[in-house]
């Protein structure tokens, strides 16, 4: 049963028009059509568009009309408003908006293979940690494509759920953010996830790129959960991968810091 058939059937139900919320509800239950509803995030209320294959768009700071036009241009389909996300989806999406987005199905159809690779790599960055544009480039096997990675993240259609805010510059400066509000929004979201933006800026000023532990002889990106286990007395800092290796340290197998250089 297609979306057009469902819509035609709803129009034929009695003489009075069906409530505007009925069509999105029926389409959602049948897994048909594209629709959107508001949801709450660390940046306030956002609009979330969803379709048969998953979430297709997240935006904030836009009118419903502008959002509908933007989504239609992105996916080539009309997106309809609904009062709320379906119950089965709402909890997962709102958790994703607050940093736990790995369980959210995302529809990246229409994007280039490179763009999808960048976004999928970005989804692997754990909550409370950051990586660099260079890290993403090397993770997808394109170490020379750092600028292109930045461009792809700047056109992330599903921010917050796909955490492009967790990708920063090579010296740990925050860099730009595609969402409304720019770097200030990026700072707010990272802080809400347990990352201290001031600490990252201090690392940039001091030219520290990696943290090591003199007990394990392993070096990590500074926000790696393993790096944070090292007490200050046993923490060693390095300005480059080469310096860490020259001191006899090996890269962490979890955060893979060599890809952050």
- Confidence (pLDDT) at 204: 95
Average pLDDT over residues 52-79: 94
Is residue 23 over pLDDT 80? no
| pLDDT above 60 (res 97) | yes
pLDDT tens-place string over residues 70-93:
999 999 999 999 999 988 889 999
To the query of whether residue 255 is one of the catalytic residues in this protein, the response is no
Confidence tier at 18 by pLDDT (50, 70, 90): low
CA 47 to chain centre: 15
The active-site residue out of 106, 164, 224, 252 is 164
Task: Compare 31 and 196 and report the one with higher pLDDT.
Answer: 196
Average pLDDT of the chain is 89
Question: Measured between alpha carbons, how far is 77 from 99 in angstroms, rounded to an integer?
Answer: 28
């Amino acid at each position: 049963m297609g979306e057009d058939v469902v819509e035609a059937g709803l129009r034929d139900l009695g003489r009075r028009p069906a409530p505007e919320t009925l069509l999105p509800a029926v389409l959602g239950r049948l897994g048909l059509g594209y629709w959107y509803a508001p949801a709450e995030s660390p940046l306030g209320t956002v609009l979330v568009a969803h379709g048969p294959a998953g979430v297709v768009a997240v935006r904030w700071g836009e009118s419903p009309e502008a959002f509908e036009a933007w989504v239609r241009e992105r996916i080539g389909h009309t997106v309809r408003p609904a009062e709320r996300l379906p119950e089965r989806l709402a909890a997962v999406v709102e958790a994703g908006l607050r940093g736990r987005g790995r369980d959210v199905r995302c529809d990246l159809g229409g994007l280039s293979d490179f763009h999808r690779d960048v976004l999928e790599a970005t989804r692997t960055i754990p909550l409370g940690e950051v990586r660099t544009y260079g890290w993403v480039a090397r993770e997808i096997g394109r170490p020379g494509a750092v600028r292109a990675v930045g461009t792809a993240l700047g056109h992330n259609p599903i921010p917050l759920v796909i955490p492009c805010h967790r990708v920063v510059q090579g010296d740990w400066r925050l860099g730009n953010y595609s969402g409304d509000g720019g770097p200030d929004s990026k700072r707010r979201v990272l802080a809400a996830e347990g990352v201290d933006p001031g600490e990252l800026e201090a690392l940039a000023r001091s030219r520290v790129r990696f943290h090591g532990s003199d007990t394990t002889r392993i070096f990590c990106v500074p926000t790696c959960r393993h790096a944070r286990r090292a007490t200050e007395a046993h923490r060693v800092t390095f300005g480059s991968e080469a310096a860490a290796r020259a001191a006899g340290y090996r890269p962490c197998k979890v955060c893979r810091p060599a890809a952050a250089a």
